[in-house]
Amino acid sequence: MKMYTGFSNYDEINIENRKKAVENEVKQWSTQKELFKEYRAEWNKAANENYLPLKPLHVDIELSDACNLKCEMCAHGLGTVKNVGFMKDDLTYKMIDEVAAIGAYSIKFNWRGESALNPILPHAIKYAKEKGILEVSINTNGLPKKKDLLIEAAKSGIDRIIFSVDGFSAETFETIRVGGNYEKLISNINDLLEWKKENNSTKPFVRVQMVRSNKNAHEVDEFIEFWQEKVDDVRISDVMDRGQGSHLSVGDKVTIGRRRCPQPFQRLIIARDGRVSPCCADWNQKYIVGDVFKESLKDIWNGKRMNKMRTIQNNVELDKIDICKNCYVKESFIWQNN
């Protein structure tokens, strides 16, 4: 078994695991392969070329900005997230209708919090699938209060579930994911994998991911070895400074410049209060591009604020907008090994 020690280039870890993930994706999308390919091709074109799709390709709908954990690298752990709650049910359904009408390929039902706390999740998934959304997904800490909520999500037709598992040992996990219970998480993931097997289902595509920091980097090898045979995809991504400073970073990579960020060309983010942000880094809602109570998603996508951001991105003048200047999205930086 190859061991990934040294971490001189952790991307190699991801590349190796991507091969298997792509094979699994192809299996999963057997009946809608062409549409999925079209979606991914447009996604990559928006990232890598001077191309603006006619519609957002993906929309994040934030079902909850509340969370039951306080992870040390997250704003919830830092205590900087205030006045949290769930998106109102009628707004959730209205947003799914609009995303379907605009023709976006994909919805992820979360942003800053834990959506599996909101009991609407399985109903929202079912509704979105009935409306023809190609890919419906969530990121989750895997610890919903309602037992079996993730199985219900699977039964409702969710296409992809990304579990955040930031350690291999219970001790490391629970130090990072404060308030989390490792044993319970493993049992919840196993239950979902068992459900897939029993139902002979390739869906949901299951990814397990680790945000690598200096608290868990020593467990990356074991983490990959343990998960790669069990799930469809294993990812390692590096901790970013989301307001906590750089004390958690491993420090083997440094940024040497900025580059055009793909996000304003690919997606919109609808916060639980109905205000819209252009990218996932706008945690404090400082660059609002619209309000779904006042404008359509189409008008927001083509609006002045979105286009202003795209211009500064195309010109790589990221210092001109505060959220871009202070951003943590790794795709907006040029990296070099340290």
Residue 211: which of ligand SF4, ligand SAM, none does it interact with, CB under 5 to 8 A by kind?
ligand SAM
Contacts (CB under 6 A) with ligand SAM, residues 221-260: 239-240, 242
CB of 303 to ligand SAM, least distance (A): 26
φ, ψ dihedrals at 309, nearest 5°: -65, -40
Applying CB under 6 A, the site for ligand SAM has a residue count of 16
Q: In angstroms, rounded to a whole number, what is the distance separating the alpha carbons of residues 263 and 301?
A: 12
Task: Identify the residue among 63, 71, 153, 248 touching ligand SF4 (CB under 6 A).
Answer: 71
Measured CA to CA, the distance from residue 36 to residue 171 in angstroms comes to: 39
Task: Give whichever of 74 and 271 is closer to ligand SAM, judged by the CB atom.
Answer: 74
- Select 74 or 95, whichever has its Cβ closest to ligand SF4: 74
CB 241 within 8 A of CB 69: no
Does the protein bind ligand SF4 through residue 69 (CB under 6 A)? Answer: yes
110 lies in the binding site for ligand SAM (CB under 6 A): yes
Question: Which of ligand SAM, ligand SF4, none interacts with 70 (beta carbon under 5 to 8 A by kind)?
Answer: ligand SF4
CB of residue 50 vs ligand SF4: minimum separation in angstroms?
34
C-alpha 111/C-alpha 82 separation (Å) is 15
Residue 159: both structure tokens together: 């296409």
* Residue 253 CB coordination number (10 Å): 19
Residues 58-77 that bind ligand SAM (CB under 6 A): 67, 71, 73-74
141 binds ligand SAM (CB under 6 A): yes
Binder to ligand SF4 among 46, 57, 77, 156 (CB under 6 A)? 77
- Coil, strand or helix: which one is 242? coil
Distance CA 275, CA 129 (A): 24
Residue closer to ligand SAM by CB (options 71, 268) is: 71
Two structure tokens written together for 28: 């999963």
CA torsion angle for 266, 272, 274, 277 (degrees, to 10)?
A: -30
Inter-CA distances, 283 with 141, 156, 239, Å: 18, 29, 16
Q: Does 139 bind ligand SAM (CB under 6 A)?
A: yes
Determine phi and psi for 141, rounding to 5 degrees: -80, -5
- Partner whose footprint covers residue 77, from ligand SAM, ligand SF4, none (CB < 5 to 8 Å by kind): ligand SF4
Contact 158, 136 (CB under 8 A): yes
Nearer to ligand SF4, 66 or 312 (CB): 66
Binding residues for ligand SAM, per CB under 6 A? 67, 71, 73-74, 110, 112, 114, 139-141, 164, 209, 211, 239-240, 242
